[in-house]
Structure 1
Amino acid sequence: MTAAGGHDGEPHDPAMGARLNWLRAGVLGANDGIVSTAGLVVGVAGADASRGAIFTAGLAGLVAGAVSMALGEYISVSSQRDSERSQLDLEARELEESPEAELTELAGLYERKGLTPETARRVAEELTAHDPLAAHADIELGIDPDDLTSPWQAAVASAIAFTLGALLPLAAIMLAPEPTRVLWTVVVVLVALAIAGVVSARLGHSSARLAVTRIVVGGGAGLAVTYAIGRLFGTAVG
């Protein structure tokens, strides 16, 4: 039988799930940077704006997006971390006030996982002797007390992922010849989105074709809409 999180009998790495979550979040952050910045610069270019105006708009969008991503991630992870700490504090108080009841509860949890009452009790006693809080946090709360996510780490990682993604369409539209800058930017962005779709599918063990189709069609539609808005309102306002 394949171990959870492993393949072909390979031993399960407890940190693998966390690393995959970080990588998946990085791919999504980069995807956000690509799509939002591409939509912005293509929309501005649709209004026949100068290269300087496009660069200013793209850079402003990059900075604003990175800050927004970092702030959102910081707030989200901080809230999650506060909740986890609160649960751990409550569990620690219960262990201090009612150690025997907590031991019985832990054994019962292992029984429900399929262990015999005798084995479940022995496992609960050995884990409690080693680290009672970690034992309860693992099976009861799904939390590792020594591996709580850092809000600052999450914020910085999100900002970096978004920035790297945003630099791609910004560089494409600035380096491409003016008559074909929008076309080249669209091509570069759709290729990048296809790659992001493949990576996301591999991480999630899902269909790469379906993931690529969704992300490319969605991204292409978004670029078409922003370009049309730029053409429409750029001409109207001008």
Structure 2
Amino acid sequence: MDAQIQIPIPKDAAIQNQCQEPQEKEVDYAQRAQWLRAAVLGANDGLVSIASLMMGIGAVKKDVRAMFLAGFAGLVAGACSMAIGEFVSVYSQLDIEVAQMKRDQRVQQNGEESDDSEKEEKENLPNPFQAALASALAFSFGAIVPLMAAAFIANHKLRLVVVICAVSLALVVFGVIGAVLGKTPVVKSCARVLIGGWMAMAVTFGLTKLVNSAGLEM
């Protein structure tokens, strides 16, 4: 009887261990921050900046070719700028972390434990090339949306409306993706990027229209 009573004990312990194992594996959202920042901000920047640029050109030019060329030039320039800026920023962070690792190695010198921790730290070091590539690709991906929305529409007013609608939808999608991956409020995230995008396009359109009407012919 004693043996029969003791049989469920290890089974219960095994079940508890199995139940606890998935709980111990938690996603490290802090490590996602760098990629989210480069990807989400890059895509939003591509959307808003290129759409605003095209809206500014559309305020004074009805030619679809002028809008498309301005948007394409902005895409190339913006992607290069984002890549270079991200590379310099992350490389500076890398230099700081490597210098700190060297200082820690001189102070600690704890044999195998320090070697293991050193390997983990090196694996977690930021990669400036990956960050630059991700930022450039994200910017380009976002910038393609207003370009494709305006490329095949001849009517000027309809073209502007389509660009605004396409960019608004893309901003909401990127806002949702960033909020879900980062575990942040979806509504607030979408509202921020959407309102910010509308304001940028409206200000660029209005100021360009104002400057053109003041006597600067294009």
3-state SS of 2:122 partner? coil
Q: Structure 2 counterpart of 1:88, which letter?
A: M
- Asked if 1:61 is matched to 2:39, the reply is no
Paired position in structure 2 for 1:107: none
3-state SS of 1:32 partner? helix
Taking the aligned partners of 2:180 and 2:42, their CA distance within structure 1 comes to 17
Of residues 17, 23, 27, the one that matches 1:9 is 23
Aligned positions of 1:212-223 closer than 5 A: 212-223=190-201
Aligned positions of 1:43-54 closer than 5 A: 43-54=56-67
Of residues 149, 155, 163, the one that matches 2:132 is 155
Please identify, of 50-59 and 61-70, the stretch whose mean Cα deviation from structure 2 is larger: 50-59
Paired position in structure 2 for 1:196: 174
TM, length-normalised to structure 2: 0.80
3-state SS of 2:70 partner? helix
Shift of 1:80: 0.6
- Asked if 1:237 is matched to 2:216, the reply is yes
Q: Is the 8 A contact 1:47 1:232 kept in 2?
A: no
Shift of 1:12: 2.7
Taking the aligned partners of 2:60 and 2:212, their CA distance within structure 1 comes to 4
Paired position in structure 1 for 2:5: none
Aligned positions of 1:86-97 closer than 5 A: 86-96=99-109
Taking the aligned partners of 1:13 and 1:133, their CA distance within structure 2 comes to 25
- Asked if 1:79 is matched to 2:92, the reply is yes
3-state SS of 1:169 partner? helix
> What runs of 5+ residues in structure 1 fail to find an aligned partner?
1-7, 100-127
Taking the aligned partners of 2:35 and 2:82, their CA distance within structure 1 comes to 14
Residues 89-145 of structure 1: CA distance to partner in whole angstroms, max 9, x if unpaired? 11112234xx4xxxxxxxxxxxxxxxxxxxxxxxxxxxx53x41443x69xxxx722
Of residues 154, 157, 165, the one that matches 1:177 is 154
3-state SS of 2:61 partner? coil
Please identify the structure whose Cα radius of gyration is greater.
Answer: 2
Instruction: Call closer, same or farther: CA 1:184–1:79 in 2, change over 3 Å.
Output: same
Paired position in structure 2 for 1:111: none
TM, length-normalised to structure 1: 0.73
Considering only aligned residues, what root-mean-square deviation do their CA atoms show, in Å?
2.2
- Tell me the percent identity: 38
Taking the aligned partners of 2:184 and 2:152, their CA distance within structure 1 comes to 35
Of residues 16, 19, 29, the one that matches 2:42 is 29
Q: Structure 1 counterpart of 2:133, which letter?
A: V
Q: Is the 8 A contact 1:92 1:133 kept in 2?
A: no
Taking the aligned partners of 2:43 and 2:24, their CA distance within structure 1 comes to 30
Shift of 1:174: 1.6
Paired position in structure 1 for 2:3: none
Shift of 1:181: 0.5
Paired position in structure 2 for 1:132: 114
Moved over 6 A (4+): none
Paired position in structure 1 for 2:142: 165
Q: Structure 2 counterpart of 1:34, which letter?
A: L
Shift of 1:66: 0.8
Paired position in structure 1 for 2:122: 145
Q: Structure 1 counterpart of 2:41, which letter?
A: L
Taking the aligned partners of 2:176 and 2:36, their CA distance within structure 1 comes to 13
Q: Is the 8 A contact 1:194 1:212 kept in 2?
A: yes
Taking the aligned partners of 1:215 and 1:19, their CA distance within structure 2 comes to 20
Aligned residues: 194
Shift of 1:20: 5.8
